[in-house]
Amino acid sequence: MTDYLSTGSLPEEYRQLALTVRDFAQQVVAPVSAKHDADHSFPYEVVAGMADMGLFGLPFPEDFGGMGGDYFALCLALEELGKVDQSVAITLEAGVSLGAMPIYRFGDDDQRAEWLPQLTSGQALAGFGLTEPDAGSDAGGTRTTAVEDGDSWVINGSKQFITNSGTDITRLVTVTAVTGNNGGKKEISTILVPTSTPGFVAEPAYNKVGWNASDTHPLSFTDVRVPRENLLGERGRGYANFLRILDEGRIAIAALAVGAAQGCVDESVRYAGERQAFGQAIGRNQAIAFKIARMEARAHTARTAYYDAAALMLAGKPFKKQASIAKMVASEAAMDNARDATQIFGGNGFMNEYLVSRHYRDSKILEIGEGTTEVQLMLIARELGL
Ligand SMILES: Cc1cc2nc3c(=O)[nH]c(=O)nc-3n(C[C@H](O)[C@H](O)[C@H](O)COP(=O)(O)OP(=O)(O)OC[C@H]3O[C@@H](n4cnc5c(N)ncnc54)[C@H](O)[C@@H]3O)c2cc1C
């Protein structure tokens, strides 16, 4: 079977990285995936392995404990991990692009020195606290408040669905909060909240449809007092800064989704060659072969979409529209391929221990998190001047 790493289209250092992560995914991640999924347990040993490989530091400079790579390298790693285990891939994606990246992009020297080495080494995780019960797609609906009191911010409110926010190694959550009012318009800022601060509570984890081994909690903040220096970036720029982080994050989610879509193709090719019915392998039926050919086309076109968005981003060019397109087509490719792969697996496809059934449960959130498909369409339309 041909594979995107054998076409010669990737520069050698990227190809080597993808091969190394592929090997890790197959040797270390895949053997424990079904168990963590069934137990809803966080894969600490896998996270430690990714930390040892430097994956949490991939796109950061060595000065901050990073690997000196770039965002595209992170995407390649996410694609390879996403093929076999979306929970592991989203743990890395959220740890890097939502946890550490806001501090790298918007932090001052002290904040970067304090937090980045812990986060880029994978010794600690940080959460990205934007979504609230009344602020999801309409993230500007933030109700959490941060009030100045002497040398402190005092935070009250709640967040929901926050990834990596309640593990044993979570040390920080970056939250958006209303810090004032500008002519009737909410002033939203971003504040670093160490999870050890009194009044911060990660409520019990959600019982999710998929991504069972990924850590997701509602958070509550009751008179949480942090120093004024914990303001991240400029006061009043919190919402805009988080939107920039989400633009980048969409490319990373697209890469993860391409991995899921490709994982469904690979599993289907194997199964269709092995499973016998009516005296031949089911893949000999054109109905099955065409289904898999279409799945391959979806994965391939979604991959080119995220490569394009990443290339624009790395070249310092506008990439918002391309990131939204990549996120939308890749998440749809993952969901469509997971549904088709499940069909090809027949009754086995409905059994939880099969990878394709896990992709079927896991892929739905790809069309929802970091901006729903409808939000991507809004952003694309806006870029077209509509
Ligand atoms: C497992 C998981 C992990 C997550 N991790 C994080 C995290 O780490 N940090 C974080 O901040 N958030 C996180 N989220 C939140 C996620 O980003 C939101 O759930 C998502 O943005 C959608 O918001 P919502 O759930 O409030 O849906 P809503 O905004 O209530 O949307 C409901 C539906 O209405 C549609 N809709 C809304 N407005 C419009 C419109 N104008 N036009 C057309 N359709 C519209 C939406 O597309 C959707 O289909 C996570 C969510 C999940 C489930």
Q: What is the pLDDT of residue 178?
A: 97
Boundary residue ending a domain (66, 87, 120): 120
Residues 292 and 220 in one domain: no
Atom of ligand 1 nearest to the CA of 165: 8
Residues 213 and 271 in one domain: no
Show the beta-strand stretches assigned E in the chain.
Answer: 125-129, 145-149, 152-163, 170-182, 185-194, 200-202, 216-227, 231-232, 276-277, 280-281
Residues 97 and 54 in one domain: yes
Rounded distance, CA 96 to CA 18, Å?
17
Boundary residue ending a domain (93, 120, 147): 120
- For residue 354, count other CB atoms closer than 10 A to its CB: 18
CATH number of the domain at 337, please: 1.20.140.10
Report yes or no: 111 and 191 within 8 Å, Cβ to Cβ. Answer: no
Report yes or no: 245 and 105 within 8 Å, Cβ to Cβ. Answer: yes
Strand partners, 126: 172
Residues 181 and 64 in one domain: no
Atom of ligand 1 nearest to the CA of 365: 53
Q: What is the pLDDT of residue 2?
A: 63
pTM score of the predicted model = 0.98
Q: How far is the CA of 136 from the centre of ligand 1 (A)?
A: 5
- For residue 172, count other CB atoms closer than 10 A to its CB: 26
Q: Which residue's alpha carbon is nearest to atom 48 within ligand 1?
A: 372
Burial annotation 67-93 (CB, 10 A radius, 16+ → b, else e): bebebbbbbbbbbbbbbbbbbbbbbbb
* Number of domains making up the chain: 3
372 lines ligand 1 (CB under 6 A): yes
Residues 136 and 66 in one domain: no
349 lines ligand 1 (CB under 6 A): no
Residue 374 is part of which domain span?
Answer: 240-383
Q: End-to-end alpha-carbon separation of the chain, Å?
A: 43
Q: How far is the CA of 188 from the centre of ligand 1 (A)?
A: 19
Q: Which residue's alpha carbon is nearest to atom 14 within ligand 1?
A: 161
Residues 92 and 142 in one domain: no
> How long, in residues, is the chain?
386
Residues 138 and 167 in one domain: yes
| pLDDT by position in tens, the chain (length 386) | 668 888 888 999 999 999 999 999 999 999 999 999 999 999 999 999 999 999 999 999 999 999 999 999 999 999 999 999 999 999 999 999 999 999 999 999 999 999 999 999 999 999 999 999 999 999 989 999 999 999 999 999 999 999 999 999 999 999 999 999 988 899 999 999 999 999 999 999 999 999 999 999 999 999 999 999 999 999 999 989 999 999 999 999 999 999 999 999 999 999 999 999 999 999 999 999 999 999 999 999 999 999 999 999 999 999 999 999 999 999 999 999 999 999 999 999 999 989 999 999 999 999 999 999 999 999 999 999 99
Residues 140 and 221 in one domain: yes
136 lines ligand 1 (CB under 6 A): yes
Q: How far is the CA of 378 from the centre of ligand 1 (A)?
A: 14
Three-state DSSP class for residue 158: strand
Mutate which of 142, 370, 372, 373 to test ligand 1's pocket (most atoms within 8 Å of Cβ)? Answer: 372
Boundary residue ending a domain (61, 93, 120): 120
Residues 376 and 293 in one domain: yes
134 lines ligand 1 (CB under 6 A): no
Q: What is the pLDDT of residue 17?
A: 97
137 lines ligand 1 (CB under 6 A): yes
Concatenated DSSP letters of 301-363: HHHHHHHHHHHHHHTT---HHHHHHHHHHHHHHHHHHHHHHHHHTGGGGGSTTSHHHHHHHHH
Mutate which of 97, 161, 216, 374 to test ligand 1's pocket (most atoms within 8 Å of Cβ)? Answer: 161
What lies within 8 Å, CB to CB, of 109 at 6+ separation is none
Q: How far is the CA of 372 from the centre of ligand 1 (A)?
A: 6
Residues 211 and 193 in one domain: yes
Residues 263 and 354 in one domain: yes
- What are the tokens at 346? 């027949």
79 lines ligand 1 (CB under 6 A): no
Rounded distance, CA 104 to CA 63, Å?
11
91 lines ligand 1 (CB under 6 A): no
CATH number of the domain at 221, please: 2.40.110.10
CATH number of the domain at 106, please: 1.10.540.10
Residues 272 and 151 in one domain: no
Q: What is the pLDDT of residue 182?
A: 85
